[in-house]
């Protein structure tokens, strides 16, 4: 059977768990956010049985749009709590050993590059500087540039528009089900890096187009699939 040739010109990446190791404290962040929102008059049951940090952020925005809260809640409560957990993760993040080499190899291969992350701008910018990643990609989209977080495709679409590229010719590589869902919704191919936020079995409903064990596998794989 002939292998399908992919039309890929741009490679977009998630940040935490993809270019650096995963350090964000998911469970405490959810607990703190829900407690603060309940104190502000929201009801915990509005967020379902098993909310995560992205669904809490997005659903709070949706509720505010429906008139159930002041818009400042996003920044004053959820945003500030997430900023605190971003800062804690920043002190721990380590760049994967192959990250810089992979970015440079892909750039030399002619791919445009970008980062789309649910991390806030302050910590993401600091992390890129600290880990020698600043200036290595053409566009960076943080939590502060979007109204809704991944799995919403807003950030991916913004990145494609900034680089003036067709989402159908891009692949988004991440380490979670949210990343794969966002890629699908944006009309991009989805790449999944094992060992990050979500295990591979969680992708059952949203399988990725490619799966890799480490970033170093990405350039030769894309070279084969786009030739």
Give every CB contact of residue 134 below 8 A, 6+ residues apart in sequence: 125, 128
> What pLDDT score does 217 carry?
97
C-alpha–C-alpha distance, residues 111 and 43, integer Å: 46
pTM for this structure? Answer: 0.93
Cite the beta strand spans of the chain per DSSP E.
10-13, 112-116, 139-141, 170-174, 189-193, 210-212
Could you tell me how many residues make up the chain? 227
**Cα atoms in the Cβ-side hemisphere of radius 13 Å centred on 186:** 32
What pLDDT was estimated at residue 5? 57
Q: Which residue has the tokens 């008059």?
A: 41
How far is CA 49 from each of CA 33, 45, 74, 99, 199, rounded to the nearest angstrom? 15, 7, 21, 36, 20
Tokens found for residue 129: 């500087």
Q: pLDDT 10s per residue in the chain (227 long)?
A: 344 556 899 999 999 999 999 999 999 999 999 999 999 889 999 999 889 999 999 999 999 988 887 788 888 889 999 999 999 999 999 999 999 999 999 999 999 999 999 999 999 999 999 999 999 999 999 999 999 999 999 999 999 999 999 999 999 999 999 999 999 999 999 999 998 888 777 777 778 999 999 999 999 999 988 86
Q: How many other C-beta atoms are found inside a 10 Å radius of the C-beta of residue 192?
A: 25
């Amino acid at each position: 059977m002939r292998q399908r040739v992919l039309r890929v010109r741009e490679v977009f990446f998630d940040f935490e768990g993809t270019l650096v190791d995963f350090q964000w404290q998911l469970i405490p962040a959810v607990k703190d956010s829900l407690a603060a929102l309940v104190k502000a008059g929201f009801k915990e049951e509005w967020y379902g049985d098993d909310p995560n940090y992205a669904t809490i952020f997005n659903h709070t925005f949706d509720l505010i749009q429906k008139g159930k809260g002041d818009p400042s809640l996003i920044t004053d409560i959820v945003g500030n709590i997430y900023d605190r957990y971003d800062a804690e993760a920043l002190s721990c993040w380590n760049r994967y050993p192959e990250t810089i080499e992979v970015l440079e190899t892909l750039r030399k291969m002619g791919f445009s590059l970008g980062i789309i992350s649910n991390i806030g701008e302050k910590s993401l910018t600091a992390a890129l500087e600290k880990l020698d990643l600043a200036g290595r990609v053409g566009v960076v989209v943080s939590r502060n540039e979007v109204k809704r977080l991944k799995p919403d495709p807003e950030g991916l679409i913004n990145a494609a528009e900034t680089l003036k590229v067709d989402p159908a010719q891009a692949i988004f590589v991440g380490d979670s089900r949210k990343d794969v869902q966002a890629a699908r919704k944006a009309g991009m191919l989805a790449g999944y890096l094992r060992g990050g936020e979500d295990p591979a079995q969680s992708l059952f409903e949203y399988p990725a187009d490619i799966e890799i064990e480490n970033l170093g596998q990405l350039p030769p794989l894309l070279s084969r699939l786009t030739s």
